Chain A
Amino acid sequence: DSGVTQTPKHLITATGQRVTLRCSPRSGDLSVYWYQQSLDQGLQFLIQYYNGEERAKGNILERFSAQQFPDLHSELNLSSLELGDSALYFCASSPRQDTQYFGPGTRLTVL
């Protein structure tokens, strides 16, 4: 158990809908990262927050947004969902820049 929690574990929704994925980092970790993992793309970095502020952006679509709250938990919002958004979404947290600890992931299925 990495200490990173993610909810929900599974999410099934329809195209065009909006969902919110939640992540609680390890105690004391200020950085939160979001990744998308699909079969054909591997693990893709989406966005990083550090102590409430956006720190780095990766291949995140404009339909996706994230935020980190004062209690350091983070939410990833996915809107206008498409079939191709079906994937595993992971959150990771880190105590410093060089190591990241991953949560169990949220499996999103868009029908």
Chain B
Amino acid sequence: QKEVEQDPGPLSVPEGAIVSLNCTYSNSAFQYFMWYRQYSRKGPELLMYTYSSGNKEDGRFTAQVDKSSKYISLFIRDSQPSDSATYLCAMSDYGGATNKLIFGTGTLLAVQP
């Protein structure tokens, strides 16, 4: 079993839709949770960062972490064609046994105009 599982998609939605992207993980020591956006053939770009459990909002993006269920989500409101990209979740137990960033395989999102 992989430490981080992410549905690869592809996920296709109409412009304006609410998008939900999810990851599950197995290592209960993970404390730092991130979402990266990667456009085709470009480097991953840090979108959201959350420490421990809870919600964090930034514009149209909301990140949620549920440590009891080992489940994290990224919501995109009013999705735009420019949101079309691969979204990677990442997490770590910095300072712990893993001490490195573990990435999901990424979900490919296409927002149709």
Contact (A104, B100) CB under 8 Å given A42-B106, A43-B88? no
The answer to the question of A102 belonging to the interface, with a C-beta cut-off of 8 Å to chain B, is yes
Within 8 A of A (CB), among B32-50: 32, 34, 36, 41-46, 49
B interface residues, how many (CB within 8 angstroms): 23
Are B46 and A104 neighbours in the complex by a CB distance under 8 Å?
A: no
- Pair B44/A99 contact, Cβ less than 8 Å: no
Instruction: Assess whether A64 is interfacial by the CB under 8 Å rule.
Output: no
Instruction: Please count the residue pairs between chain A and chain B whose beta carbons lie under 8 angstroms apart in the complex.
Output: 50
Given contacts A42-B106, A43-B103, contact A98 B32 (CB under 8 A): yes
* Contacts A43-B88, A56-B100, A99-B34; A105 near B43 (Cβ below 8 A): yes
B100 touches A48 (CB 8 A): yes
| Chain A interfacial positions (CB closer than 8 Å to B) | 2, 4, 33, 42-43, 45, 48, 56, 58, 88, 90, 97-105, 107
